[in-house]
Chains A and B, each alone.
Chain A
Amino acid sequence: MSEREKILGRIREALKVSAPLPGSHGDTSAVHTAAESPASHAREWLPSVGASEAEQFALFAKNAADLKADFQLFASRDDLKAALTKLRDAEKWSRVASHGGELADLACKALGLPVTITDRGYDVQEMEKCDAGITECDALIAQTGGVVVTSRSAGGRALSVLPPHHVVIARREQLVADLPAAFAMLQQKYADNYPSMISFITGPSRTGDIERILVLGAHGPKKLTVLCF
């Protein structure tokens, strides 16, 4: 018998005796109705988000600021391009890494710098020397102030963590209210062909491992900038 069968056998043997439901005070006769997930009402318990788009953008901005991420919302793509070049000059970028995509292309063109494109494989050492990683995303989440990226929408796995500054270019319509909405969106978008990596990024990389004092840029980016129009 394989270890798989042995382990599954032990599990099945153990589960012949039923365990009390949480909160039933030892009463094993209470039966769980698995008709819907116990977590399906999560929206009613998680931190509240406003109803209107304006409220949700305000919440996203507040949460992002708490996380020490930089969020800027623009009226037009030209304003976004201007902000990006300002960022380039302020931080003296000389090379960036990015991927193919309408918004990423727009950003790279505006920057006018040498770009390491990840789509068809790339040199890791070269990416490590880039000043910023520029990616698109799948969603902005008002409830957390974070973004969702995937290996398909954001140029692979390393692009959003290896360079010291992660810049996300997003459209206004990509804002979702809360975490349940983000998961529903991912399920709808990718159905049965999920990207091999889906990452909820909530602020720049951080650690508190030394005396619980917050330090940004532990291993991933020290800065996270979200530019949205």
Chain B
Amino acid sequence: MEEARLATTTLSTMPALTGSVGVPRLAGIGYPTGLPLGRPGDTLGQLAVLRAALATLESIQEPGTRIDLPFEWPDGVKVRTHPKEPPPIVGLLKRKPWLLPRFAAGKVPDS
């Protein structure tokens, strides 16, 4: 995308993982995976996160810079982020745990 002259920034709940693939601008947020902008219904909080994430488009001047945003997930607030049925890969790894190292190594079997 950057090569196509599009300036990008990434808002990530797992900035260490996102940063490892070499994104140009990175805004880390300490929210649960699946809720990068905040709780359902928290319109003002979501807007604040959006504004802060977009601000990194202007503030980051060096490729590969990570800025962790100053938002804290409130203690005691629980929002269910897991799916009702476990993801297929989780079911597979429970049945065949010896495949876990292969999954961790990102070695996809030829279908």
Tell whether A pairs with B: no
Chain B positions within 8 Å of A, measured between CB atoms, are: none
Chain A positions within 8 Å of B, measured between CB atoms, are: none
